[in-house]
Amino acid sequence: MQLFEQQLQQLKQANQIRQIPPLVHDGAFIYKENQKMLNLSGNDYLGLSYKRDLQQEFLALHSDNLPLFSSTSSRLLTGNSPEYQHLEESMALAFDRESCLLFNTGYHANIGIIPALSDENTLIISDQLIHASLIDGIRLSKATRLRFAHNDYEQLQQLLEENQHHYHLILIVTESVFSMDGDHADLTQLVNIKKQYPNTLLYVDEAHAIGVYGQNGLGLAEEQGCIADIDLLVGTFGKAMASVGAYLISSQLIRDTLINKMRPLIFSTALPPLNIAWTHFIFNKLPKLQTQRQHLAHISAYLRTVFAEQFHLPMPSQSCIVPYIVGDNQKAIALAHALQQQGYYCLPIRPPTVPKGTARIRFSLNADMQQDTLDLLIHVLKGLNNA
């Protein structure tokens, strides 16, 4: 089809063409075309995905009775089994909330929950920088959508004032740690705001925070002490938890509603019980990883400070996602390429993933990295800047 060829050609010309890179993994490293590189682009913030001892411990635990490798159906038909129920019970207990519901991915969660809870009389007010899966969920819903500028809670409050009487439900939607700038939402403030308005629910996506924040690794809501007040607390198992799937922490009423109305839950085969058991195994480990979380926070603060003070870069981040914002698409591509040649697996992040003129390298750190690794990276970046 000529149409598609033209479209791809345009993407190429704009330096926006996407490809699936051929990769082989080796612990914290990646091989691409036989070049060994430190993985600085993953979401494996605690380095759990490549810990062979964890895999062995898990397999030994289940050696006589390995969970099934497929569920062969939605949980509403024949796909349910004790693994799901056990994990949901453990998570509801750990979060000290009424209920937990599991999903196949974070993407499924976001495109399913939002439409299931919305109708024509719903207003969704979302942060401008939310993840594509949340945007798609809003688009699939029948709700009206308004946006507030990133983390601008004055504007949020103004939108609530203007619209509170025109809808029977208002959903405020945000991430807790934003995936491209690495900055935080102020969940305590959001809770205070939403409590001022009747029929208003707060929806928070903790994709980049579960495992990484809080005394027990339950996320930024735990760190900020507001788990009890977030109506819909969502997260994925595919990042720091080194598994696959997603969860919602909520009231029993919301859980029951979703079981009746959420299409990706009703009409898709549930994850293999094996994956659920692995997620449960990792979830049980989270409280014991406080040293790793503290180390990650420490090295992340170090890199952010160097980028801000020595490289004079804008530094929105408050997390282990550390953007190196160069602005121009071509510049970001060239820098990523040069870093790869020096043994760092870094990727250029360009519009439309980030706003125009803010193309960047997104460094994502993990708890196995040491400060001297970062010092070497900083040295290489300085050399590339002077070249």
Ligand X SMILES: *Cc1c(COP(=O)(O)O)cnc(C)c1O
Catalytically active residues are 43, 131, 175, 179, 205, 208, 239
Contact 251, 98 (CB under 8 A): yes
* Residue 321 burial (C-beta neighbours within 10 Å; 0-12, 13-18, 19+): buried
Residue 345: strand pairing partners: 39
For ligand X, the closer of residues 167 and 243 by Cβ is 243
* Residue 184 touches ligand X, criterion: CB under 6 A: no
* Residue 273 touches ligand X, criterion: CB under 6 A: no
Please select the residue that binds ligand X; options are 227, 232, 241, 246, rule is CB under 6 A: 246
* Residue 133 touches ligand X, criterion: CB under 6 A: yes
For ligand X, the closer of residues 182 and 238 by Cβ is 238
- Residues from 100 through 129 that contact ligand X (CB under 6 A): 105-107, 110
- Least Cα distance to 243 among 22, 43, 38 occurs for 43
For ligand X, the closer of residues 114 and 296 by Cβ is 114
3-state SS class at 52:
helix
- Least Cα distance to 211 among 374, 47, 56 occurs for 47
Q: How many residues bind ligand X (CB under 6 A)?
A: 14
For ligand X, the closer of residues 221 and 306 by Cβ is 221
Residue 361: strand pairing partners: 324, 348
Q: In the bound complex, what is the minimum distance in angstroms from residue 362's beta carbon to ligand X?
A: 12
What's phi and psi for 25, nearest 5 deg?
-100, 145
Please select the residue that binds ligand X; options are 83, 88, 205, 223, rule is CB under 6 A: 205
3-state SS class at 192:
helix
Q: In the bound complex, what is the minimum distance in angstroms from residue 112's beta carbon to ligand X?
A: 11
Q: In the bound complex, what is the minimum distance in angstroms from residue 4's beta carbon to ligand X?
A: 26
Instruction: Report d(CA 83, CA 91) in Å as an integer.
Output: 12
* Residue 211 touches ligand X, criterion: CB under 6 A: no
DSSP 254-320: HHHHHHHH-HHHHSSPPPPHHHHHHHHHHHHHGGGGHHHHHHHHHHHHHHHHHHHHTS-------SS
Taking residues 143 to 182 in sequence order and writing x for each that binds ligand X by CB under 6 A, - otherwise, the string is --------------------------------x---x---
Q: In the bound complex, what is the minimum distance in angstroms from residue 110's beta carbon to ligand X?
A: 6
Q: In the bound complex, what is the minimum distance in angstroms from residue 176's beta carbon to ligand X?
A: 9
What's phi and psi for 326, nearest 5 deg?
-105, -20
* Residue 238 touches ligand X, criterion: CB under 6 A: yes
Residues engaged in binding ligand X (CB under 6 A): 105-107, 110, 131, 133, 175, 179, 205, 207-208, 236, 238, 246
